[in-house]
Structure 1
Amino acid sequence: MNITSKIYDRSPTPLYIQVASVMRQRIDRGVWLPGDKISTLEELEVEFSVARVTIRQAIDLLRQEGLLDAQQGRGTFVSLKLKKNRWLNLATDLDAMIANLKDNVLKRVHIEEGAAAPELKVGEGTPAEGYTFLRSVQYNNGEPFSVVNLHLAKHIFDKDRKRFTHSAALPQILEMPDVTISQAPQTFTIGVADPETANLLEIGLGEPTADSRLILIDDNGVAIYVASIHYHKDCFALRVELLDHSKRRQRTAK
């Protein structure tokens, strides 16, 4: 058994999907640019140490995604009509998160009053007396890019039920003069799309997602907003300046 075979065996994912994932990354990173002719079937077969049928399946998958164009007699090329990738910078503060919502369209797909309280970990506040669960899909340029599963404290939801039903909850909460947010912890993880998320984001089951868990805790220590957000893998990036301006000036002065 060669090294490549051992790598494949570490994952239960079908071979052609593993190969397609590597090829997809080459397009994402600009190794293969729009209009470029990719490696031949023979070259890919040798490189990935798989059967030609596996390469064909991988190419067909990427063609269905709109990443590749197969031209009979000429070969396979990277599509000239690639979607704009990595346009969303994952927010690291509330102002940036509100700005991300500005040009997006929200569609509520499920509302459940009297929902069970979400599970809260240490440092995530205490449960409210009741919650309303709201699931929504956010669209940008007509395409879904995130699914939000939100537990909203009942006493907050009751303040403006109509607006919370049709609009993003986060900006509304921050505009409420009688609500004070004392903490807003957020955690990022890499996940995979479950059947519900895959259906709403229009992606394959088990495809990677960027997952954010955001909680708003009021001045009484109550978790009034507990959101689990799943972002489409093709839209997000996390860009952070690691050197703050004061340190940069100090280094320049030296």
Structure 2
Amino acid sequence: MKPALRFAGQTMYLQVYQVLRSRLEMGVWQQGQTMPPLPVLMEEFGASRVTVREAMHLLEREGLIRRRRGIGTTVEAIPLSDRWVRIATSMDELLQMQRAVQPTVLNINDHAGLPDVQLPSDQTAAQQYVRMQRVHLRQDRPYCVIDLSIESGLFKRHEQAFLQRPALLVMHEDTQLRVTSARQDLSIRCADLVEARHLAVVPGSPVAEVRRVLSDEAGVVVYAAVVVYPSHMVRLSMDLLAPGNAIDRKATQ
């Protein structure tokens, strides 16, 4: 038997589930095909029969496979391609993507600070922010969960719009606001229990985390967010020869 897979903080059956689901996404097994029998998968993953069965149960619960005695395990459906998450690398692209999402507010705090983001050395926090946790839906499915703070004065100018629409779109339409710095950092990690529930994924599933900070002409942070996208696979496309974007302009241009 091969050594078992091990990833810190993850239960073994979730690891097996994630690998098998990724193979379905990549087309290793097509709809109608029979997957390898249980003993073969046990040998490959170095896992017990119970562990592999638990992983297969998750796939079956999603409607991706069907297990039948005497026939084996057949592929019933291929995971939807929108599990690929494209991370925007320009403000124009980010705004375009946000036009297709619908926010749902989970909670709101009128007297709050910033989420856990790292501020550049030349930027400072405002005195007070309105902080919200939200789920963004796309085609009626969870697209991301977001923890964001908006400078209080800015929020009060467009309170209803910020509660009902993506924040960056509202900021884009504010003629008084001039954003001169917009930065984001991407990392890949595992979903915690709360995130998994909101995103409709299994706890421990891979997620893409983006930490985003926007500042005005005075170097004051007007928007900061930690955005978590559910995805086994992340697509990040950049033109490596594109000219650098000047920061002394409105970030939405």
Moved more, 202-211 or 212-221: 202-211
Closer/same/farther in 2, CA of residues 83 and 164 from structure 1, 3 Å limit: same
Closer/same/farther in 2, CA of residues 219 and 114 from structure 1, 3 Å limit: same
CA RMSD of aligned residues (A): 2.3
Match of 1:222 in 2: 220
CA distance in 1, matches of 2:187, 2:97: 19
Unpaired segments of 5 or more residues in structure 2? 244-253
Match of 1:152 in 2: 150
Deviation digits for residues 210-241 of structure 1 (CA, Å, limit 9, x no counterpart): 00111111111011000110001158522334
CA distance in 2, matches of 1:163, 1:77: 48
Where do residues 60-139 of structure 1 align in structure 2 (5 Å cutoff)? 60-80=57-77, 82-119=79-116, 121-123=118-120, 125-139=123-137
- Offset, 1:137: 0.8
Q: Counterpart amino acid of 2:179?
A: I
Identity %: 29
Alignment coverage as a number of residue pairs: 242
Q: Counterpart amino acid of 2:212?
A: L
Closer/same/farther in 2, CA of residues 205 and 80 from structure 1, 3 Å limit: closer
Contact persistence 1:153–1:225 (CA under 8 A):
yes
Closer/same/farther in 2, CA of residues 171 and 48 from structure 1, 3 Å limit: same
Q: Counterpart amino acid of 1:4?
A: P
- Offset, 1:19: 1.8
Match of 1:141 in 2: 139
More helix by share: 1
Match of 1:172 in 2: 170
Q: Counterpart amino acid of 2:218?
A: N
Q: Counterpart amino acid of 2:3?
A: T
Report SS of the residue matched to 1:185.
strand
Report SS of the residue matched to 1:184.
strand
Closer/same/farther in 2, CA of residues 3 and 38 from structure 1, 3 Å limit: closer
CA distance in 1, matches of 2:190, 2:43: 30
- Offset, 1:88: 3.8
CA distance in 2, matches of 1:45, 1:107: 42
Moved more, 183-192 or 45-54: 45-54
Q: Counterpart amino acid of 2:133?
A: R
Contact persistence 2:144–2:228 (CA under 8 A):
yes
- Offset, 1:191: 2.1
Contact persistence 1:156–1:224 (CA under 8 A):
yes
- Offset, 1:49: 2.6
Unpaired segments of 5 or more residues in structure 1? 246-254
Match of 1:187 in 2: 185
Q: Counterpart amino acid of 1:224?
A: V
Report SS of the residue matched to 2:157.
coil
- TM-score when scaled to structure 2? 0.86
